[in-house]
């Protein structure tokens, strides 16, 4: 009986080791992220890249109008030390605890980045991240200084994506919505 127990324990250890070595996960499901948000991380869409830095903008705005501020303030930060996430990805970023520069958008050094798995609706060729990336690179978005991704919808019948954005730097009262249409074709690299 003890030999069987030893074999089972060794087999369990082997399975755990093999799973740990081969189970590299590149992204987290959006549902898992929604069910267990981290209070320490900064979440949002990657809307721009420069070298090893990414600009992440949180689509959940804060209303500071009661204190004389704007009614739509979108948290946005440049994170250095971020070689992997592509434009269009939804991420959660943890900093190294170093000082953060505060002019808008803020700046910090990324310690860890979790990328949510992109969604590919039934019948679509592109993921939502691909559609966002295409929308941000389209002529309709060229004048947006700090893009805020508010919504991404796929129209199966038309074969198009609609990316609803705002410019976080807009001076209009409600930062007018901008709808960018993207044809559902091959993924943008």
This prediction has a pTM of 0.76
Give, for all 189 residues of the chain, the pLDDT tens digit: 555 555 445 444 534 333 333 333 356 643 333 334 445 699 999 999 999 999 999 999 988 877 776 778 899 999 999 988 999 999 999 997 777 877 889 999 999 999 999 999 999 999 999 999 999 999 999 999 999 999 999 999 999 999 999 999 987 766 788 999 999 986 545
Q: Which residue has the tokens 């081969």?
A: 22
Q: Which pLDDT score is estimated for 6?
A: 54
Among 51, 125, 126, which Cα is nearest to 88's?
126
Cα 10 versus chain centre, distance: 40
Q: Which pLDDT score is estimated for 172?
A: 77
Q: How far apart are the first and last CA of the chain?
A: 57
- Determine the Cα–Cα distance for residues 42 and 112; give it in Å rounded to an integer: 11
The β-bridge partners of 94 are 112
Handedness of CA 149, 67, 41, 78 (dihedral sign): positive
Q: Which pLDDT score is estimated for 174?
A: 64
Region of 175 (left: φ > 0; alpha: ψ -120 to 50; beta: rest) is left
């Amino acid at each position: 009986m003890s030999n069987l127990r030893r074999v089972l324990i060794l087999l369990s250890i082997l399975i755990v080791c093999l799973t740990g070595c081969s189970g590299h996960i590149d992204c987290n499901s959006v549902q898992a992220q929604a069910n267990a948000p981290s209070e320490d991380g900064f979440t949002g869409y990657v809307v721009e890249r420069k070298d090893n830095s990414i600009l992440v903008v949180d689509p959940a705005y804060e209303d500071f109008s009661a204190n004389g501020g704007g009614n739509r303030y979108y948290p946005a930060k440049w994170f250095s030390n971020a070689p992997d996430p592509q434009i269009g990805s939804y991420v959660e970023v943890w900093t190294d605890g170093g000082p953060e520069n505060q002019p808008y958008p803020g700046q910090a050094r990324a310690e860890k980045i979790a990328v949510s798995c992109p969604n590919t609706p039934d019948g679509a060729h592109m993921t939502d991240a691909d559609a966002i990336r295409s929308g941000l690179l389209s002529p309709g978005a060229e004048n947006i200084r700090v893009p805020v991704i508010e919504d991404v919808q796929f129209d199966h019948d038309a074969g198009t994506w609609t990316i609803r954005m705002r410019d976080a730097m807009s001076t209009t009262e409600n930062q007018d919505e901008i709808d960018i249409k993207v044809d559902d074709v091959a993924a943008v690299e």
